[in-house]
Amino acid sequence: MKTRAALVWEQPGNWQVQEVDLDDPGPTEVLVEMVATGLCHSDDHFVTGDIHVGGLPLVGGHEGSGIVRKVGSEVHDIAEGDHIITSFIPACGKCRWCASGKQNLCDAGAIILQGDQPAGGFRMHADGRDVGTASALGTFAEWQVYDQTSVVKIDPTIPLDVACLVACGVQTGFGSATNAAEVRSGDVVLVIGIGGVGINAVQGAALSGAAHVIAVDLIEQKLDWARQFGATEGFTDIDEAVEFAKSVTNGQGADSAILTAGLVHNDLIGKAYWGIRKAGTVVITGVSPDAEDAPIPGFNAFNMAMFQKRIQGALYGMASPREAMPMLLREYQAGRLKLDELITHRYSLDEINQAYADMKAGKNIRGVVEFQKVAPVEQAAERELASVG
Ligand SMILES: [Zn+2]
Ligand SMILES: [Zn+2]
């Protein structure tokens, strides 16, 4: 079939929205009509070249939602009409990690920067070339084929435009606080970098009962947003934030510092490290340039041992998507987790470059592409048609 998708052809480059060919799903795959996709900062790294991939062109996107329209012959627990959200780590269900309840570390995740399908080969083609998929997904497409291990069935009463956010930003941020930092009642927590992930680390820390959720971002507007999601204080200067954390902990420092900046450089890790107390935790969630090997300023292994500190990397909120996503959607249905409020702007697929420009300008918590949303020009034409009709 023909569909439309946003591809990157060179690094650094831009998103190019164009017509593509999409094959039928293979035996283990499903064809999905997409409803919405969140615009995660991580996909911007494919455009800038901070993250290298197996080959180009590549269709971006990993935070999607949609409706299953066709299933392969070996797909038994997903049916036509099911509502799904995507998982940017496929979960095979059989490897050591899946078997031990850590599906976010599934061995099948090894392929997510290669571009081909978990079952091998490519389903999307453009201008005579195979199109790789970001995270074995590629949700920046009106229709897409996914492996059954890459989708999670959800309650069909939940609106798909907000459900897509749980597919990456919400699970990643929320779990960074609840699982990686293990925030407890009364804790003092630094959340450094307030974007689509950081804002959910704020939510996770606040819902866990933290006494102080201290948001840090260079942009004041983001600190205001953070307060609406449970932050108790906001600082544009990380040194001032650390000083505040020490002032409310008898000089000891925060219980945890969660690094959710769009690009985590080692100097930021150093600041977080010296901002936590004995036996405190620094969580590294945000993506760093994959070639950075600079030392962490001030890092000292003696101090780390004597102060029993922990630097904890966190992937996908250290949670299994099939467990965490339904839990988070239940929290949404119960009115505790805010999802609707996360969407600060809705775009059509054609507006994707503008959407990323807005994200980088700090105008969005989360921008979402709605595939049914038509570009403003077409909307005007439709209104004219409607008025004629
Ligand atoms: Zn993401
Ligand atoms: Zn597995």
39 shares its domain with 110: yes
Q: pTM for the complete prediction?
A: 0.91
385 in any annotated domain: no
**CA of 137, nearest ligand number:** 1
> Considering only CA atoms, which of 195, 216, 215 is closest in space to residue 205?
215
Q: How many domains does the chain have?
A: 2
Q: How far is the CA of 293 from the centre of ligand 2 (A)?
A: 29
pLDDT score at 49: 87
Read off the CATH number of the domain in which 158 is found: 3.90.180.10
Q: Angle at CA 351, nearest 5°, toward 343 and 216? A: 40
Does residue 122 sit in the same domain as residue 194? no
**245: in domain:** yes
Q: How far from the centroid of its chain's Cα atoms is residue 74's Cα?
A: 29
> Looking at the CA of 42, which ligand is closest?
1
Ligand 1 geometric centre to CA of 170 (Å): 9
Q: Is the residue at 172 inside a domain?
A: no
In a domain, 357, yes or no: yes
Q: Do 135 and 24 share a structural domain?
A: yes
Position 254, amino acid: A
- Residues 22/2, Cβ–Cβ less than 8 Å: yes
Q: Rounded CA gap, 85 and 325, in Å?
A: 9
Label residues 59-91 b or e (16+ Cβ within 10 Å = b): bbbbbbbbebeebbeebeebeeebbbbbbbbbb
Nearest partner of 206 among 222, 184, 224, judged by Cα: 184
Show the tokens assigned to 41.
């900062």
User: pLDDT value at position 87?
Assistant: 98
Measured in Å, residue 79 CA sits from the centre of ligand 1 at: 26
178: DSSP letter: I
Q: Is residue 325 part of a domain?
A: no
Ligand nearest to the CA of 45: 1
Domain extent at residue 252? 179-314
In a domain, 174, yes or no: no
Cα–Cα dist 194/295, whole Å: 25
The answer on 212 and 148 residing in a single domain is: no
* Domain shared by 193 and 233, yes or no: yes
| Closest ligand, as measured to the CA of 109 | 2
CA 65 to ligand 1 center in whole angstroms: 13
Pick the last residue of a domain from 314, 347, 363.
314
The CATH number of residue 278's host domain is 3.40.50.720
At 389 the pLDDT is 40
Which amino acid, residue 366? R
Using the 3D structure, point to which of 279, 314, 349 is the last residue of a domain. 314
Q: Is residue 319 part of a domain?
A: no
187 plus 145 within the same structural domain:
no
Q: Is the domain of 184 the same as that of 84?
A: no
Write out the E strands in the chain.
2-8, 16-22, 29-38, 58-59, 64-71, 83-86, 124-126, 129-133, 143-147, 151-153, 188-192, 212-216, 233-235, 254-259, 276-284, 310-313, 343-347, 366-370
Are residues 213 and 154 both part of a single domain? no
Same domain? 21 vs 85: yes
Q: Which residues pair with 84 in a beta bridge?
A: 66, 153
For residue 306, being part of any structural domain is answered with: yes
Q: Are residues 11 and 83 in the same domain?
A: yes
**106 and 199 together in one domain:** no
Q: Over the chain (389 residues), what is each successive 10-residue block's mean pLDDT?
A: 97 96 98 97 90 91 98 97 97 96 96 93 97 97 98 96 96 98 98 96 98 97 97 98 98 98 88 97 87 81 96 97 97 97 96 96 93 63 50
Nearest to 146 by CA among 246, 274, 59, 252: 59
Question: At which of 269, 299, 314 does a domain end?
Answer: 314
DSSP-derived 3-state class of residue 179: helix
**Same domain (yes/no): 185, 148:** no
Q: Which one, of 73, 71, 83, lies nearest residue 31 by Cα?
A: 71
